[in-house]
Structure 1
Amino acid sequence: MNKNKGQGILEALLFAAGDEGISLQQITDVLDTTALQATELLEDLQEEYKKKSRGLSIIEVGGVFQMVTKKEHSEYLKKLVESSNSASLSQAALETLAIVAYKQPITRIEIEAIRGVKTDRSLQTLTAKALIKETGRAEGPGRPILYGTTKEFLDCFGLKTLKDLPPLDDVQEEALEQDEADLFFGLPS
């Protein structure tokens, strides 16, 4: 296989693999080549992306290769996300998401017991935005749906794992401090 054709196929593989990425072993298997040849193809393609004024680059994370956007274009990507039609999450949805993140797997009834209000709409919104998903069914009457967070949730909040969430005590302290600050801003001058 010639170099240009190999790079084109590799580029297509990286694009198709998306956030999951592709390992060197997968590349060698698909291209029916050696690890050395696959590595050379990767390095050559990485150099091509560096030379040209492109918006993408190829990185290795955790043993897999991914095609990612360049950091220098982040302000434009941020504008795109902010100007998109997808509305930001409501306070109710954010509260529900926080409960799911810290207490997962959790049922709708358990979430409602914590929040004190219905959460059907928030759960629908969070599921539609792929921030939470059904993770199974609880034992007991009616076998209620259990909810948990998704990989998209981790990506959205810049977390590698759920262990990267701030400890709940810190979150509670910050909320208390914020409430106290709000009280002070509400005082007449």
Structure 2
Amino acid sequence: MSDEERRDSLADQAAAWVPPWERPRQPDPATPVPSAAAPAEAAETVSADEEAAETRGADATGEAGEAGRAGVPPRAVGGRRRVTAAPEPAPELSDGELRGALEAILLVVDEPVSELVLAQVLEQPAERIGPVLDEIAAGYTAAGHGFELRRAAGGWRLYTRPEYATYVERFVLDGQSVRLTQAALETLAVVAYKQPVTRSRISAIRGVNCDGVIRTLVTRGLVEECGTETDSGAFLYRTTTLFLEKLGLNTVDELPPLAPFLPDDVEELADATR
């Protein structure tokens, strides 16, 4: 073969050469050739596997998100979701049981307790508490007990009856006087009927300085600050729930009217002080 023929042969081989990555893949003789239906079945199997994998991933992601919002680590979330049973409602007490439970609580309270608090403690409907308390109060009155159940300061509490106050006072005080002074009683009365009121207004009504008396009443919990006056910025004072409790009142609206205690010439006295 001449040199020219050899060059032509090499050129033809170079032109016909195909890179390995572009050559058609030869089937493996050991691998059986699938039938015409096999590609479709394989495609369906792959699609089903992919769909199952996506579903598992979505469930895992959702459970992990729920666990994260609930404060549970993601690793605690298993393949099966745990369902927590709702707490069973408390059994409804009979009238006798409810009456006994209310009496037991009222014997140990140190301040008036509201119907809502009693309903929450006993896990009973709030609408049942009021009628039973009214029934208990009526029963104590009809039986003539030395104590009674009545509303005071927005709640309910047991109190001794007024006709036995002398004996109770003798037992509690035991010769010791813990009463308020006359000045404190007068100042407390002014606050009760004029509230909210400033110290300067109280002093003007009483005719003497009442700063020390106000501090005493605040210390004993009978009077408290309730803001400031818009014009002067002076502190305003009002009575407390302890004041209502000590007097056995539910609201200050139950205070007795002042008219029967005023002198007949009150208008003349008022004109004279102007």
TM-score, with length taken from structure 2: 0.44
Question: Number of residues paired by the alignment?
Answer: 172
Let me know the Cα RMSD of the aligned residues. Answer: 4.7
Pick the aligned partner of 1:103 from 194, 199, 207. 194
Can you list the C-alpha shifts for 1:6-39, whole angstroms capped at 9, x where unaligned? 888655532454442342x644432335689989
The CA distance in 1 between the partners of 2:246 and 2:128, in whole Å, is 35
The CA distance in 1 between the partners of 2:254 and 2:160, in whole Å, is 26
Pick the aligned partner of 1:171 from 258, 261, 264. 261
Gaps of 5+ in 2: 1-90, 267-274
TM-score, with length taken from structure 1: 0.58
CA drift of 1:104 comes to 1.3
Is 1:132 matched with 2:219?
Answer: no
Structure 1 stretch 28-37 or stretch 114-123: which is displaced more?
Answer: 28-37
Letter in 2 for 1:14: L
Determine if contact 1:59/1:66 at 8 Å carries over to the other structure.
yes
The CA distance in 1 between the partners of 2:252 and 2:205, in whole Å, is 24
Pick the aligned partner of 1:14 from 78, 85, 106. 106
Can you list the C-alpha shifts for 1:71-127, whole angstroms capped at 9, x where unaligned? 675433121354464532222222222221222111111212222321112112222
Letter in 1 for 2:240: T
Q: Which protein, 1 or 2, shows the higher relative CO under an 8 Å CA cutoff with sep ≥ 6?
A: 1
SS across alignment from 1:20: coil
Is 1:30 matched with 2:116?
Answer: no
Aligned to 1:80: 171
Please state which structure has a larger fraction of its residues in strand. Answer: 1
Can you list the C-alpha shifts for 1:40-91, whole angstroms capped at 9, x where unaligned? x98xx99xx9xxxx97665678996533446675433121354464532222
The CA distance in 2 between the partners of 1:91 and 1:112, in whole Å, is 15
The CA distance in 2 between the partners of 1:61 and 1:117, in whole Å, is 33
Is 1:147 matched with 2:237?
Answer: yes
The CA distance in 1 between the partners of 2:106 and 2:252, in whole Å, is 23
